[in-house]
Structure 1
Amino acid sequence: MYVSYKWLENYVDLSGVTPDELAEKITRSGIEVEGVERIGDGIKGVVVGHVLTCEQHPDADKLNICTVDVGEEEPVQIICGAPNVAKGQKVAVAKVGAVLPGNFKIKKAKLRGEVSQGMICSLQELGVESKLVPKEHADGIYVFPENEEVGADAVERLSLDDSILELGLTPNRSDCLSMLGVAYEVAAILDRDVKLPEPSVSGSGEKASDYVSVRVEAKEDNPLYGAKIIKNVKIGPSPAWMQHALMAAGIRPHNNVVDITNYVLLEYGQPLHAFDYDRFGSKEVVVRRAHNGEKIVTLDDTERTLSDDQLVITNGKAPVALAGVMGGADSEVQQDTTTVLLEAAYFTGAIVRGASKHHGLRSEASTRYEKGVDPERVLKAGERAAQLMAEYAGGEVLEGTVLFDEMTVQPARVSITLEKINSSLGTAITAEEVEGIFRRLGFPVEVSGETFNVTAPTRRGDITIQEDLLEEVARLYGYDHIPMTLPQGASTAGGLSPYQAKRRAVRRYLEGAGLLQAITYSLTNDKKATQYALDVKEPVRLLMPMSEERSNLRLSIVPQLLEVISYNKARQNDSLAFYEVGAVFLNEGEELPREEEHIAGALAGLWHSHLWQGEKKAVDFYVAKGILEGMFENLGVSDAISYRQAVIDGLHPGRTAEILLNDEVIGFVGATHPEVEKDLDLDATYVFELKAAPVFGYDKAPLGYSPIPRHPSITRDIALVVTQDVKAGDVQAIIKEAGGKLLKEVSVFDLYEGEHMEPGKKSLAFSLKYFDPAKTLTDEEVVKVHNKVLEAVKAKAGAELRG
């Protein structure tokens, strides 16, 4: 809700309170003010000018030479290219030395040889958004009314010296979706009176009931409907002050009749609709549910198909408006309209919300109906609009309101005791202070001892129970005045659980390794729900998904990370590394799925680049695997981790490995399949995902230390010829087992499959380090153990020493 400070001054005395101070007070009382905007802030030297002459520039078809009176001794010459500039107009003139939005300074200039001493301004050039500028001024300069004073401050005359407070309202505070609602709130905060409009309309002698009748068939959806008739209206621009008020609230002015309905909407919070009586189609208003398949063309010139759960206003035959949402194009007010049928009605929130959602139409009217309007203001708003139409559209208001009224809404009565208030808030507020707070809020209250019997006005539909009154007392008393106390009794120091500590360690490690944290949707589509799942189960589908793209709970994080890589690559970010520690959801056949935490990552592009030295290293399988190995080392579980080649859907068959913890599969690491990369327009991308619980819950051995060795080690290198299907990891495991206590390290340092090798064979080279911390090993001791190793690899892997 955008609230104009100058407009608000019409209802509450704001003297001594600046816009910023008011914003702070409103925020401290429980309604957040998200910002204060000063529309004309920084504009200087712009005045109202009178165009005395306007002639075409001799050397430019689209320029005019204007002589403008700006309230000084002599008029000035200004070159203007606006198509609507003309002699006799009152316009906004930025004089030489003026400053416009964006710190744009006006200087004396020459245009095609003619001197220009200033600029005639459009509203856009004065900081008004294009979408809010009236259509007649959208493509040119703004023209003031003829009675505007020459030389006056144009910023003030355009109300650009105003401040706009943006209120971030919660759904329960729909009362503040109106200027009067905000006025009641501000008056309560400042302890001042509210000045309400007092509409007064003199009937023309004719009766509205002679022109129209009202019949409501859907009484539960529309318990109150009032119709007024205004004759002899003259369609034209609305007064400048009204246009400025609408633009400050984010609404574009149209004409006097439409602007008046919008103005009253903002003032009272009550939506109204003006029909062209002569285009309405009958003298009968019938409110009913739509028929299935019935059609209406709404004001946005869109044909809409209706259903029987939507409410329509009809002329007895065809729909002329979608109730509470938008009017029909056939009966809208146009330039030749002379008689207006004015609707002021109460529609229930559920029926309006359903129609608004079904047709994708969100309007100022539907927003207010959905959250609930004040039934006490419905007819008052209609009277106010009729008064303004008589005053600013020259209309004659016919006597009376044609009414259907079965409204049964009553003000809520809630009781609360002083003891309840003080015990709940931890305060010592007196009965007089509580009674004063209810008085400031405009809540009638009867005091019986220490019990307050409060009648909540219908404008405050959110007040229904004791806790609502507690909140009102607390926020008006001042949250800052509520005493702070520490909890009593024994307490323990907070801290992270071992699981939480390991999760944090993983995040710090991965970020330290160069990966950025991503937080992706837990919802995905049918196709991606089971991709890369470590535990393949039937995905959990939402009963009411927001869209088909977000209809299932995920079983893997990797598809979402690939979306992140694809999104960034499409925006020319090529070197990417992301990780996520998040939940997947496993369907166990219960009412709710089981959540399981996973650690996942995705990497693409260059991992290492020093262009000056000419060094580049692209991400590959070993980069991804190395990151994981460092993480396992950091968590102390590396001794229990192993890898084995695997084939997984969506991953490259030759560059993928399963991750095992104590021989149990907990995840995978590998390259994405070329088809996946083609579908997502990716370059080579590497991913990993593993279950967090087995890793975080692993009981690692206590930390131990070994003394720095005093005795030398002995290294032996061996090259073994094995068949192509033998894995280096399996051979390495055999060597470790056979080497016993003396063999401390085994590493692979070469693979050869060249032309000098028999078909179906390959050569694997290992480096073995032997060491005894207690003594220097002799050649005989090393040879004895080394021979056992050679015998073991020959027996278990069929390996032969390469000659």
Structure 2
Amino acid sequence: MIVTYNWLKEFVDCDLPPAELSHLLTMLGLEVERMEEVGGGMDDVVVAQVVEKNQHPNADKLSLCKVDNGKEILDVVCGAQNFKAGDKVALAQIGATLPGDFKIKRSKIRGEESCGMLCSEKELALSTESSGIMILPEEFQVGTPLFDALGTKDVIFEIGLTPNRADCLSVVGIAREVAAKLGKKVHYPGLEVNETGAPIADIASVEILAPELCPRYTARHITGCTLADSPAWLANRLMAAGIRAINNIVDVTNYVLLEYGHPLHAFDFKLLAGGKIVVAAAGDGEKFGTLDGQERELTATDLTIRDGEKAVALAGIMGGGNSEIGEGTTEVLLESAYFNPSAIRKTSKRLGIHTESSHRFERGADIAGLTRALDRAAQLIAELSGGKVAKGVIDVYPAPVEPRVISARLSRINAVSGLELSADEVEDIFRRLEFDVAQTAPGVFQVKVPLFRVDLEREIDLVEEVVRLNGFDKVPATLPQASVFSDLPSDAQRLAARVKDLLVAHGLNEVINYSFVAPSSCEKILLPGEDLRSNGMVLLNPISDELSVMRTTMLPGLLDTAVKNISFRTLNLRIFEMRRIYLPVEGEDLPQEPLYVSALLTGRRDPEGWNQGKDEIDFFDVKGIAENLLSELNVGGVNFSTEELDPYYHPGKACRILSGRKVLGSLGELHPTVQENYGIATPLYYLELNFEALLACRKKQGAAQVPSRFPSTFRDIAMLLPRELPVADVISCVNGVKAPELEGVEIFDLYMGGNIASHEKSVAIRVRYGSKERTLTDDEVTRLHQRVIDALQKKLNVSFR
């Protein structure tokens, strides 16, 4: 919110210097983020009079002028042609510094000396555009500093408001705060609407078809208006607030918006079919052209203002191009209404439109004060345009809202704040805030909160008001009294920390990404389904359209992190994230939120150095990390399967991780298309584990096994397998031979090509036999080994080499 010092002083008697007023506002919770002096340090820009205007001898488009600054006659070269001798103009003298840090120096222009510069409104930051130099009123005294003559020397305060303080989105609202703090009265504008026109009931009508979205709608009619530029005082006030002046009618609505904080809208009444207003929801798919020249597609959740035939405004957000004030406007229907904040917020967010009006309606307007804003605007439009205001006001208010009554206790106020205020002091604070208050019992207050304070709902809110007005600096510094205790981490928390430690020990770095992703992520990672919105939970109020869906996998976030790092030439990446994903459940409002641990690796296996390795990370690096994690968590029955892989994996270079038949996660190289979509040239390896599934599959910790005193015996088996048969099946088959003397099996050779048929592969395993009671004889080992060979031949139909 932007407010100026002079404007504020019109509403409250405040003699505080601007710097002190800035501190007072900040201490009231209205933080002043910027304070700018208008016209300060520009006393070298003065009112001057053109004595002579002659053609420049060396340039067709320049004039050589003699200008009187009240002390001497100066030669000034000027390129503008919109002035003549005798005009009073704005002269920036030598040494002046104009906005943009532009310093005026003595100079020669095409051989002629120029001792200053004749300025336009734009060059003095008094307007955003201008067609020539600034021509000043005849009554201005020559030699007077320009900003003193204009009366525009001022200080601009830019206040950063929290969303709950909608009442301070106006000059009146901020003046009310200052007056309450200083114990002053607010000087509200006098409202004297001269109603000289015909009865408004004979001219226009209003009907509300959606009272839940528009509880109140008021209107006035003004005829005989003459469209013109706004007077300087009005244009300057708007420009100080960052609003461009348009014409006297539109500018009044913007001025009252800033003054009272209530949005208004002016319709060209002749463009309203049937002379009526209907407040109703839009039709699904209805097209509507807004004032910014854009055509919007509306839905049934959007509230519109309609005439007898069509939509003429997007309620509370923006008017329509089909009813705007323009050349030829003589009749105006002035709207002042209240709209449901959530409805305005949803429409504004969906359409991507944020206006001064929607900003205020989203936060909650004053439903009781909209008629004051209406009367103020009608009064100013009549004065500035010469129009006549119709008799009466249209006020459709089917269910009047009553002010909220909140009970507050003095004991509670002092206990929370640490203050020792009396009942009279607290009551005085409430009255200064314009609250109706009565003590129903000693130290018990019944406070009727005005409707402009939409943020006050409970007793604790009133406690804050008392502390705020009394002064945050007066709150004593005391230590809180509380019991201090510590809960031991649960097994799951302890194991989660252990998993992170293990990943860090493997050289991975933890990252934390947003829990939401872009709808287009499904296309980039080849997830099933036509649209991620059909798979993920869509946020009602997303930060942006690119972060609007809750993630169903952590892969997109990790890939985005990888892209950013690689763009900064960090090419060897090992990152992981341990967070929750969000899986929608059919028929349920809320999703499942399992905890997942995911990792992404790319680049070289070893760090760069004198003896740096040239090998790249591969599938087995990621598989080794997964196996270490599973071993550390004591997960039993682990096996790997290449079936039913997610489509973002490279076929033949990935697998699922299972415990028995329960899926624990997956790992492998990502599909080349995924790399291409993210613009990454090197192979990417991904690991994803469902941490909660891991915990469910943990084995009980058994007793430590004493190693055998007797030597073990090893036998090797070389065999031919079909290429598509996983070697894990061989290991499972050997382990399936029930014999206590079979101590273990491992693969030590895999070969394809050469003399091996193209559909086969050669695999060699080593089986270890032993006993804890004695040394096995060669015959015993041979019989056991034959059982293993028979099992492989029978179950897998392998051939031996």
Q: What TM bracket, shorter-length normalisation?
A: 0.7 to 0.9
Higher mean C-alpha deviation, range 446-455 or range 462-471: 462-471
**Letter of the aligned partner of 1:9 in structure 2?**
K
Matched, 1:263 2:255: yes
Residue of structure 2 in register with 1:456 after alignment:
449
| 1:666–1:694 contact (8 Å) kept in structure 2 | yes
Alignment of 1:280-295 (within 5 A): 280=271, 284-287=275-278, 289=280
Aligned residues: 768
TM-score for the superposition, normalised by structure 2 = 0.74
| 1:223–1:406 contact (8 Å) kept in structure 2 | yes
Corresponding residue SS for 1:257: helix
Equivalent of 2:620 in 609, 619, 622: 622
Residue of structure 1 in register with 2:508 after alignment:
513
Residue of structure 1 in register with 2:554 after alignment:
557
The Cα shift of 1:666 comes to: 0.8
Residue of structure 2 in register with 1:299 after alignment:
291
| 1:652–1:670 contact (8 Å) kept in structure 2 | yes
Whole-angstrom distance in 2 between the partners of 1:148 and 1:612 = 81
Residue of structure 1 in register with 2:684 after alignment:
685
Higher mean C-alpha deviation, range 150-159 or range 446-455: 150-159
**Letter of the aligned partner of 2:356 in structure 1?**
E
**Letter of the aligned partner of 1:10 in structure 2?**
E
Whole-angstrom distance in 1 between the partners of 2:567 and 2:169 = 42
Equivalent of 2:336 in 332, 345, 351: 345
Whole-angstrom distance in 1 between the partners of 2:206 and 2:584 = 52
Residue of structure 2 in register with 1:447 after alignment:
439
Matched, 1:601 2:612: no
Residue of structure 2 in register with 1:193 after alignment:
185
Whole-angstrom distance in 1 between the partners of 2:71 and 2:768 = 98
**Letter of the aligned partner of 1:453 in structure 2?**
Q
| 1:743–1:771 contact (8 Å) kept in structure 2 | yes
Partner deviation per Cα, 1:456-494 (whole Å, 9 max, x = no partner)? 2332344455454344334434556277554456x5224
The Cα shift of 1:441 comes to: 0.7
**Letter of the aligned partner of 1:195 in structure 2?**
H
| 2:253–2:377 contact (8 Å) kept in structure 1 | yes
Alignment of 1:719-734 (within 5 A): 720=718, 722-723=720-721, 725=723
Whole-angstrom distance in 2 between the partners of 1:54 and 1:527 = 70
CA gap of 1:620–1:474, structure 2 versus 1, over 3 A, is same
| 1:177–1:269 contact (8 Å) kept in structure 2 | yes
Alignment of 1:492-641 (within 5 A): 492-494=485-487, 496-507=489-500, 510=503, 513-514=508-509, 516-521=511-516, 531=527, 555-559=552-556, 561-562=558-559, 578-580=575-577, 581-585=579-583, 587=585, 592-604=590-602, 610=608, 618-628=616-626, 635=632, 637=634
The Cα shift of 1:583 comes to: 2.4
Alignment of 1:195-594 (within 5 A): 195-200=187-192, 206-209=196-199, 213-218=203-208, 220=211, 221=214, 223=216, 225-229=218-222, 231=224, 233=226, 235-239=228-232, 241-276=233-268, 279-280=270-271, 284-287=275-278, 289=280, 298-301=290-293, 310-312=303-305, 314=307, 321=313, 324-335=316-327, 337=329, 339-341=330-332, 343-349=334-340, 361-389=353-381, 393=384, 395=386, 397-398=388-389, 400-404=391-395, 408-419=400-411, 421-422=413-414, 428-450=420-442, 451-463=444-456, 466-478=459-471, 481=475, 484=478, 486-487=480-481, 491-494=484-487, 496-507=489-500, 510=503, 513-514=508-509, 516-521=511-516, 531=527, 555-559=552-556, 561-562=558-559, 578-580=575-577, 581-585=579-583, 587=585, 592-594=590-592
Higher mean C-alpha deviation, range 761-770 or range 581-590: 761-770
| 1:299–1:327 contact (8 Å) kept in structure 2 | yes
**Letter of the aligned partner of 2:598 in structure 1?**
A
**Letter of the aligned partner of 1:597 in structure 2?**
L
Matched, 1:165 2:158: yes
Partner deviation per Cα, 1:8-55 (whole Å, 9 max, x = no partner)? 333234444655x65665555455x38335377998787346584778
**Letter of the aligned partner of 1:215 in structure 2?**
S
Residue of structure 2 in register with 1:174 after alignment:
166
Whole-angstrom distance in 1 between the partners of 2:112 and 2:778 = 104
Whole-angstrom distance in 1 between the partners of 2:717 and 2:73 = 103
Corresponding residue SS for 1:243: helix
Corresponding residue SS for 1:624: helix
Corresponding residue SS for 1:193: coil
The Cα shift of 1:164 comes to: 2.9
The Cα shift of 1:693 comes to: 1.9
Residue of structure 1 in register with 2:134 after alignment:
143
Residue of structure 2 in register with 1:776 after alignment:
none
Where structure 2 has 5 or more consecutive residues not aligned to the other structure, the ranges are none
Higher mean C-alpha deviation, range 457-466 or range 638-647: 638-647
The Cα shift of 1:183 comes to: 1.7
| 1:522–1:584 contact (8 Å) kept in structure 2 | no
Higher mean C-alpha deviation, range 418-427 or range 664-673: 418-427
**Letter of the aligned partner of 2:205 in structure 1?**
R
The Cα shift of 1:184 comes to: 1.4
Whole-angstrom distance in 2 between the partners of 1:374 and 1:267 = 13
**Letter of the aligned partner of 1:476 in structure 2?**
L
Whole-angstrom distance in 1 between the partners of 2:58 and 2:572 = 56
Whole-angstrom distance in 1 between the partners of 2:449 and 2:747 = 81
Alignment of 1:123-138 (within 5 A): 136-137=129-130
Whole-angstrom distance in 2 between the partners of 1:615 and 1:696 = 36
CA gap of 1:565–1:55, structure 2 versus 1, over 3 A, is farther
CA gap of 1:611–1:258, structure 2 versus 1, over 3 A, is farther
Residue of structure 1 in register with 2:36 after alignment:
38
| 2:74–2:115 contact (8 Å) kept in structure 1 | no
**Letter of the aligned partner of 2:203 in structure 1?**
S
The Cα shift of 1:744 comes to: 11
Whole-angstrom distance in 2 between the partners of 1:321 and 1:767 = 81
Partner deviation per Cα, 1:367-425 (whole Å, 9 max, x = no partner)? 4345443344333333433444465x362555854444657344444444434544666
Corresponding residue SS for 2:208: coil
Residue of structure 2 in register with 1:775 after alignment:
none
**Letter of the aligned partner of 2:688 in structure 1?**
E
| 2:25–2:32 contact (8 Å) kept in structure 1 | no
**Letter of the aligned partner of 2:496 in structure 1?**
R
Higher mean C-alpha deviation, range 518-527 or range 539-548: 539-548
Whole-angstrom distance in 2 between the partners of 1:50 and 1:702 = 99
| 1:714–1:770 contact (8 Å) kept in structure 2 | yes
| 1:222–1:345 contact (8 Å) kept in structure 2 | no
Whole-angstrom distance in 1 between the partners of 2:279 and 2:743 = 88
Corresponding residue SS for 1:584: coil
Whole-angstrom distance in 2 between the partners of 1:63 and 1:737 = 102
Corresponding residue SS for 2:145: coil
The Cα shift of 1:263 comes to: 0.7
C-alpha RMSD over aligned residues: 5.7
Corresponding residue SS for 1:442: coil
CA gap of 1:624–1:144, structure 2 versus 1, over 3 A, is farther
Partner deviation per Cα, 1:675-708 (whole Å, 9 max, x = no partner)? 444566554332221111244574685999999x
CA gap of 1:323–1:602, structure 2 versus 1, over 3 A, is same
CA gap of 1:286–1:732, structure 2 versus 1, over 3 A, is closer
Whole-angstrom distance in 1 between the partners of 2:123 and 2:574 = 45
Whole-angstrom distance in 2 between the partners of 1:625 and 1:666 = 13
**Letter of the aligned partner of 2:337 in structure 1?**
Y
TM-score for the superposition, normalised by structure 1 = 0.74
Residue of structure 2 in register with 1:777 after alignment:
none
| 1:344–1:378 contact (8 Å) kept in structure 2 | no
Partner deviation per Cα, 1:738-766 (whole Å, 9 max, x = no partner)? 9x999999987765435365666655688
Whole-angstrom distance in 2 between the partners of 1:758 and 1:551 = 53
